[in-house]
Amino acid sequence: MPVVPSPPVAFPFDTRDHAEVFERLARLRENEPATRVVVASGHEVWLVTRYEDVRQVLRDRRFSVTAHSGPAAPRLFTTPFPSGVALIRDTEPPDHARLRRLVMPEFRARQVHRSLTVIQKITDGLLDTLAEAGPPADLVAGFARPLPVAVICSWLGVPAGDSDRILALTDTMNGQGPLERITAAQREMCDYLAALMDARRATPGDDLFSALVTAHDEHGALSDAELTGLGVSLLFAGHTVVTAVLASALHTLLHRPADLARLRDDPAFAESAVEELLRYHLVLRDGQIRVATEDVDIAGVSVRAGESVVVSINSANHDPEVFPDAERLDLGRAPNPHVTFGHGIHRCLASHLARAELRIALTSLLARFPTLRPAAPQASAGWKGHQRIQAIAALPVTW
């Protein structure tokens, strides 16, 4: 009797357990490095899990980011942005290069270095508030959540008083439904950005949004859709992943006293520690999606033109061919060529900023509260109901 193949599994997997996710990815890497899965939009696509294959897809121009942006195309999220919003993640050269040139100077390492005092000031303010309130405290609500949004708002020129609104809209847009609620939040975000851009026209400032408005109005370097799309991309993506990484990193360190003490006692150790925490943690539950524009052989299979491919960043970051003893958290790991920020021309614009925030957040928190520890030592992490982000809901601590 012929063997009937099993139907493709849903991806991301139906678990948020760190060990179980990486066990399943390891089995795929070893036995079926390109396999068929079903993504959030209901489409069947290829899933690629080995490090070198993931990098190949991300840098190979035969895999396009634009072909999946239509309303009927395979997607890793249930609700596409409304028409009239041109997200930078969905653009190809030469438009992609033009858009990145407009904003990239603001995110280079040298510019981020000049802004360290701003990040430190925001961090210290949040720590002052925690200290004044006294223990116990929730490090997600009081630190990991407000810090990244405050930094990106300051960077972009968003009024500090609007951060709670931004967080609420982001939560809804990242949520699991109903779809009407997600769509309404997307529209509200676009309307908010349109009003903010108008305010920057009336009163320009020394911020990135003011510069984008000038590029649109005076130089014709941006269309209306691109201006809105850049605003959404920078504001929406500028804090969600950093919050998730910071919360997960703190949860892990608080349950690993030796690593926590090493980082607390040697702040210079933070640079390598941050890279390993970025590599190790499950943050984006799925990955990145591309569409083949011609037939391409990858991971032992032939991907046909028009087929979609999802690359698992998490699996690539745990590939033992690149990261020896990959399931072990080694805060001194070197080299550490993780792909958490992507690879190729679509690599994350804000990677230098994210690294700086994480380093300052971890070292400042541990310096201020050297006896920091879990309020409930055996408590397991609870997760927010996000579609794609692995986000810890709360992290109760004392000191």
Per-residue pLDDT reduced to its tens digit, 244-274 = 999 999 999 999 999 999 999 999 999 999 9
The 10 Å Cβ neighbour count of residue 251 is 22
% of the chain at pLDDT higher than 90: 68
Q: Give the pLDDT of residue 3.
A: 41
Residues 6+ apart with CB under 8 A from 146: 126, 163, 167
Per-residue pLDDT reduced to its tens digit, 190-249 = 999 999 989 999 999 888 899 999 999 888 888 988 988 898 888 877 789 999 999 999
Q: Give the pLDDT of residue 6.
A: 64
Complete domains list, the chain, with CATH:
9-398 (1.10.630.10)
Segment 4-17 shows an average pLDDT of 83
Q: Is pLDDT of 387 > 90?
A: no
Per-residue pLDDT reduced to its tens digit, 18-28 = 999 999 999 99
Q: Give the pLDDT of residue 379.
A: 66
Sheet holding 137-138, edge to edge: 137-138, 396-398, 373-374
Provide the whole-model pTM: 0.93
Q: Give the pLDDT of residue 1.
A: 44
Per-residue pLDDT reduced to its tens digit, 151-173 = 999 988 899 899 999 999 998 98
Q: Which of 66-75, 256-265, 347-356 is predicted least confidently? A: 66-75
Q: Which of 51-55, 67-71, 89-93 is predicted least confidently? A: 67-71
Q: Give the pLDDT of residue 69.
A: 65
Q: Give the pLDDT of residue 2.
A: 46
Segment 354-369 shows an average pLDDT of 97
372-396: burial string, b at 16+ Cβ within 10 Å, e else: bebbeeeeebeebebbbbbbbeebe
Q: Is pLDDT of 363 > 50?
A: yes
Q: Which two tokens stand for residue 47?
A: 């899933």
Q: Give the pLDDT of residue 326.
A: 97
Q: Is pLDDT of 394 > 70?
A: yes
Phi, psi at residue 132, to the nearest 5°?
-65, -40
Q: Which of 124-128, 179-183, 289-293, 336-340 is predicted least confidently? A: 179-183
